[in-house]
Amino acid sequence: MKISEKIADYIAKDKTFYSFEFFPPKTDFGTENLYSRIDRMASLHPAYIDVTWGAGGSTADKTLEMCKTIQKYFGLDVMMHLTCTNMGESSIKKILMEAKESDLSNILALRGDPPEGSLTWEKHAEGFRYGIDLVRYIRKEFGDDFFLGVGGYPDGHQEQTDINVDIKFLKEKVDAGSDIVITQLFYDIDKFFLFRDKCVKAGIKVPIIPGIMPIHNYARFLKFTQFCKVSIPNLISKQLESIKDDDSSVINYGVDQASEMGRVLIEEGVPGLHFYTLNLEHSVSEILRSLNLVSSQGIIKELPWRQSTLGDRKTAEDVRPIYWSNRTVSYLARTESWDDFPNGRWGDITSPTFGELNQYHAIRAGAKSDKVKAKRKKIWGEPKSIEDIKDVFVSFCKGEINCLPWCEMPLAHESQQISSSLINLNEMGFFTINSQPNVNGAPSEDAIVGWGGSGGRVYQKAYLEFFTSNDKLDTFLKNLKSTDNISYQAINIDGKLITNLSENSVMAVTWGVFPGKEIMQPTIVDTRSFLIWKDEAFGLWMNDWASIYDQESESFKILQEIYETYYLVNIVDNNYVDGGMMEQFFK
């Protein structure tokens, strides 16, 4: 989707937006890591994600693939870079066609850097000389199909140091059909304002977005500023010099410097900030927090889960089973072929394709590497008993480790409300993998549980999903009274099902009531997709966990025992008004 309206809306509401720029990593392991990072950073609600074009066009396919994946699986808008370096007209056309077909509708059109190893930039025989040629070509061939950004150079261009000439060129690029200007990184804020003023004077009316690269590392900082010919204010040089050998001090300095710069830029009216993240997460998150741009307050989610931005799916899909709520990417990969959501419901749950995890495995391509195994061993240790397993689950609930095979993200903010109960449950041998507390008509603007826009009320039934032994399940079911108003489903690897739900039933566990609208019920518990989830959930014990150990090891054996004997259980407390499912559990 073109981000034109989104940007216009931010500007109209005088709300500062921000975007994150990433580059395609070189290895599968790096790519998987970056996807996890982008997935987490999505919760910061960037307006869009930039993905750079490989210098010299070498990583073209990777860039396209990354853009598509981010858009499809992480529900974020994407602006894809495209450069003229080493590209003939026909290659560019092919890429633009593919981008268009894949709904990648935002392009940052650049001339590009010289290819690696070259010092000077040379035009491709059949290609374009300047960024403006690329802009003209896109507008000529594709009309208004794309939202187009171009680069701006507050510090002057590497190859054009007369700023007035440079701004004349920029004006021509904008006139040729650019929708936004994103600037090169800079540290001298006065140069940016001078640049902006000159742009305005020259009649450039599109938004001019400053590019910010937080200082992460002294050596890299020097390399970048030299490469881009970016000037460094004396004060910054002096301050950095004194701490240059202490990496964490440099990082903290970078956060403070960029935050201060951001504060002044916002004060002076820039509509947004563009962050060169260098594929790093920490600094940008800190800067946004210190600028008070991120807080769950004020950001209204359209639905409780993040929507895919993909055309049809975005507007048509409004219900998902709760089981995959901690494994969104897997759910989206499995349901990718669902282009049909009759009446906003999910597609064909009985479809034979709803078993394939190929696409997911392509995204999580690094999963089987030794590096990943080593990393996982570090997180989950080498459990030798059920007690050790308990410790892993308890650590996750305490926030001491940030993932489990079933949870790609740390414990959700809203489940933290019940984290002490969750810790107790895990200590009792109920290994929890998914949960939500009950909510009875909270305002839809609520910082933690709200969604769906303003003026509404949202509801949730308490939900808990865990693995437990046959014995513990028996005890739990025996103590369950009909008055408890609990719905449950339990199943083991062999498919033995114990439930009080009727076949093919569907129940809402999250719903909302809004002015002038139908009731929305975006999250459900349904008996049919539970059977599919069961295979995935059990599989993770072996594929994602046991597989990191030697097959003869105690760790492997204890995990295999759980896989073979435990039950996957989910329970819903139908009394969302004053139910006490958790209290019930401890009795």
Rounded least distance, CB 533 to a copy of itself, Å: 18
**Which of 161, 387, 455, 474 is in the footprint of a copy of itself by CB under 8 A?**
455
Backbone angles phi, psi at 436, to 5 degrees: -150, 145
Distance of CA 444 to the CA centre of its chain: 23
Largest CA distance in the chain: 82
Build a one-symbol-per-residue string for 103-132: x at contacts with a copy of itself by CB under 8 A, - elsewhere. Answer: ------------------------------
Integer Cα distance of 493 and 195 in angstroms: 65
* Shortest CB 451 distance to a copy of itself, Å: 15
CA 497 to chain centre: 35
Q: Whose Cβ is closer to a copy of itself: residue 235's or residue 519's?
A: 519
Of residues 158 and 505, the one with the C-beta less far from a copy of itself: 505
Task: Give the per-residue contact string, 12-51, with a copy of itself (x = CB under 8 A; - = no).
Answer: ----------------------------------------
Taking the CA atoms of the chain, what radius of gyration do you get in angstroms?
26
- The distance of closest approach from Cβ of residue 323 to a copy of itself in the complex, given in angstroms and rounded to an integer, is 16
Q: Smallest distance, Å, CB 309 to a copy of itself?
A: 23
Distances (CA, A) of 452 to 177, 308, 348, 418, 443: 35, 15, 25, 23, 10
Nearest-angstrom CA–CA distance, 199 and 333? 45
Q: How, if at all, do strands 462-468 and 486-492 pair? A: unpaired
For the bound state, the minimum distance from the C-beta of residue 348 to a copy of itself, rounded and expressed in Å, comes to: 14
Closer CB to a copy of itself, 169 or 341, in the complex: 341
CB of 458 to a copy of itself, least distance (A): 12
Shortest spacing between CB 317 and a copy of itself, in angstroms? 14
Residue with tokens 């026909």: 90
| DSSP secondary structure string for all residues of 318-337 | --EEGGGGG-HHHHHHHTTT
Residues 6 or more apart whose CB falls under 8 angstroms from that of 376 comprise 544, 545, 548
DSSP state of 113: P
Measured from the CB atom, is 507 or 532 closer to a copy of itself? 507
Choices 75-83, 260-268, 495-503, 549-557; region in contact with a copy of itself by CB under 8 A: 495-503
Which candidate, 366, 402, 524, places its Cα nearest to that of 27?
366
Binding mask of the shown chain, residues 315 to 354, with x at each position contacting a copy of itself by CB under 8 A: ---------------------------xx-x---------
Confirm or reject binding of residue 507 to a copy of itself (CB under 8 A): yes
Dihedral sign for Cα 130, 134, 136, 137, please: positive
Task: Provide the minimum distance between the beta carbon of 502 and a copy of itself in the complex, in angstroms, as a whole number.
Answer: 8
Identity of the residue, 355 or 441, whose beta carbon is nearer to a copy of itself in the bound complex: 441
CA distances from 177 to 10, 106, 173 (A): 21, 13, 7
The interface region with a copy of itself, picked from 178-186, 193-201, 423-431, 453-461 by CB under 8 A, is 453-461
Under the binding rule (CB under 8 A), the answer on residue 457 touching a copy of itself is yes
User: Is 283 within 8 Å of 259 (Cβ atoms)?
Assistant: no
CA angle 526, 531, 532 (to 5 degrees): 100
- In one-letter notation, the amino acid at residue 19 is S
Site for a copy of itself in 548-587 (CB under 8 A): 572, 574, 576-577
Enumerate the β-bridge partners of residue 272: 17
Per CB under 8 A, the list member of 41, 508, 558, 581 interacting with a copy of itself is 508
Instruction: Compare residues 43 and 574 and give the one whose CB is closer to a copy of itself.
Output: 574
Site string for a copy of itself, 523-552 (x = CB under 8 A): -x----------------------------
User: In 461-477, which positions are buried (b, 16+ CB within 10 angstroms) versus exposed (e)?
Assistant: bbbbbbbbbeebbeebe
Closest distance to a copy of itself from the beta carbon of 313 (Å):
18
Q: Closer CB to a copy of itself, residue 362 or residue 519?
A: 519
Rounded Cα gap, residues 125 and 27, in angstroms: 31
How open is the CA angle 335-488-498, to the nearest 5 degrees? 95
Residues in the interface with a copy of itself (CB under 8 A) total 30
Q: Which of 498, 513, 531, 532 binds a copy of itself (CB under 8 A)?
A: 513
- Asked about 172 being catalytic, the answer comes back as no
- Which of 21, 286, 317, 336 is catalytic? The answer is 21
The binding site for a copy of itself (CB under 8 A) comprises 342-343, 345, 441, 455, 457, 459, 485, 487, 500-502, 505-508, 511, 513-519, 521, 524, 572, 574, 576-577
The residues annotated as belonging to the active site are 21
